[in-house]
Copies of this chain bind each other. A is one copy, B any other.
């Protein structure tokens, strides 16, 4: 399966750095002189254009009303850089926006730190930058501050991107693992495993009858709808590295609670299921980039599900389990054939450099 063309309008023609003169990133593009100044101004500041970034100071200044802020960071080292359904740029925006949403925060602004490998193709950098700006617009956040470093060829891998994000918390809920309670219902926002399998398919050259795309998407909007409706959310978690299973295990351990899920209620597409069987993966451990679980009190579960299902990014959302008892840091699952087993944390990893 090949990287299919996306709506990304970045073209060599529109690249603000003259490609003929600078087809590849040079060490000097990170050296603090004219070349770096040009790269930062023309590639980043012009593209991410917004009032905060435009001050071009050592940092950005943003106004906030009294209250609580969420603050998060992620570095993105995904390989390949471009994949069906996204690229490292959109992922770097969606991933951090999603982490803010998981704190129950409305995303306010992002930072972007680039580590470029000398020799990285300027046109690919441009494609990534345009994709970041599109993703930021979709998620209604500004990229307000940034940094660029260049390392020698062989000391990096094209481009690594770190984004940090600040969000505003506009409610009084404590959305953390320790807030989950016995009887809480667990909702899952959609089918699992597509991001990891889409990446693996590109790496392994797998072909599917129906093209398989990553689920990479910004979930803040659907999360805000749940919160704005007054759902008393206890905890949320997006299902990135380690997938659904690892997220639930971490929550169970942190909360010292027993979580039980039903395998047959967890949506997995037939393409993902088939690829997992072929590759020897368990879809419950495969990474997602636009899927999350939300823990809510039982009496608001159906309202929460209705809200989730009314949003494109929660259309296939469903109830997958509940919190069953205190004092046991454990996740159990009833399998499709009715047996009950413990869901364990993986010792290593399934897929390296998935995000």
Q: Is A246 a contact partner of B33 (Cβ separation < 8 A)?
A: yes
Select A57's contact among B67, B176, B352, beta carbons within 8 Å.
B176
Q: Which residues on B sit within 8 Å (CB–CB) of A34?
A: 345-348
Q: Mark A196-216, 1 if CB is under 8 A from B, else 0.
A: 000000000000000000000
Q: How far is the CA of A162 from the CA of B115 in the complex (A)?
A: 10
Closest 7 CB pairs of A and B: A31-B349, A59-B72, A32-B242, A32-B241, A164-B164, A28-B348, A33-B346
Q: How far is the CA of A72 from the CA of B113 in the complex (A)?
A: 10
Chief secondary structure at chain A's binding surface? mixed
Q: How far is the CA of A260 from the CA of B166 in the complex (A)?
A: 38
What 14 additional pairs, Cβ within 8 angstroms, besides A32-B350, A149-B353, A166-B166?
A: A31-B348, A31-B352, A32-B243, A33-B346, A33-B348, A59-B72, A59-B99, A61-B68, A61-B169, A113-B162, A147-B162, A149-B160, A149-B355, A156-B157
Q: Which residues on B sit within 8 Å (CB–CB) of A240?
A: 32
Q: How large is the interface on A (under 10, 10 to 19, 20 to 34, 35 or more residues)?
A: 35 or more
Interface 9-residue window, one of A13-21, A104-112, A187-195, A320-328: A104-112
Residue A316 CB within 8 A of the other chain: no
If A64-B69, A165-B59 touch, whether A115 touches B147 (CB-CB below 8 Å) is no
Q: Is A346 a contact partner of B32 (Cβ separation < 8 A)?
A: yes
Which A47-101 residues have C-beta < 8 A from chain B?
A: 55-77, 98-100
